[in-house]
Amino acid sequence: MKNLLFLLFIVLFSQSGLAHLGGGEDRVVGGYLVEFGYAPGTPVQNEETFIALSLANNTTLQPIDVEKVLIRISDPDKLVFAGSFLPENRNVGFTYVFQAGGEHEIEAAFYKNDVILTSTKFKLAVEGMINPFILAGAAIAAIFLYLRFRSK
């Protein structure tokens, strides 16, 4: 429900239906303007990230009706997600949970009448999480070293 309200807010309060949320980028590809936005500003591993995309005419900035948008998400090693989305109000918005930190690539292909109008790729840095066992181990090691060398 929270994500639905967030998407509704975006659609109602932005000119093309997509503001740059917490972060994002506009990219001109041919005669098209591809808008890519995400929230939060820095996506974090194992937490929800809201991703939104839309397509506009680069000259008039008028939104373009597309039938579907194919999204592919890759980490440096492999494809981690692929799916087709049907736009609502000329925008595609969805939540995704990145399973690993590091740089990811988001590829979007916009279709109309089963023909690709345009496609492009965006880079997205995802903040990794530190394993709590590593932190606990480092704390224990620091205490041990302190106690060992304090007595000398």
What CATH number does the domain containing 58 carry?
Answer: 2.60.40.1930
CB 138 within 8 A of CB 47: no
Q: What is the DSSP string of 95-131?
A: EEE-SS-EEEEEEEEEEETTEEEEEEEEEEEEBPPPP
List the chain pLDDT tens, one digit each, 152 residues: 445 434 433 443 343 444 557 899 999 999 999 999 999 999 999 999 999 999 999 999 999 999 999 999 999 899 999 999 999 999 999 999 999 999 999 999 999 999 999 999 999 999 987 656 655 666 776 776 777 777 65
Residues spanned by the domain of 29: 2-150
Q: Please give the tally of structural domains in the chain.
A: 1
- What predicted TM-score, i.e. pTM, was given to this entire model? 0.73
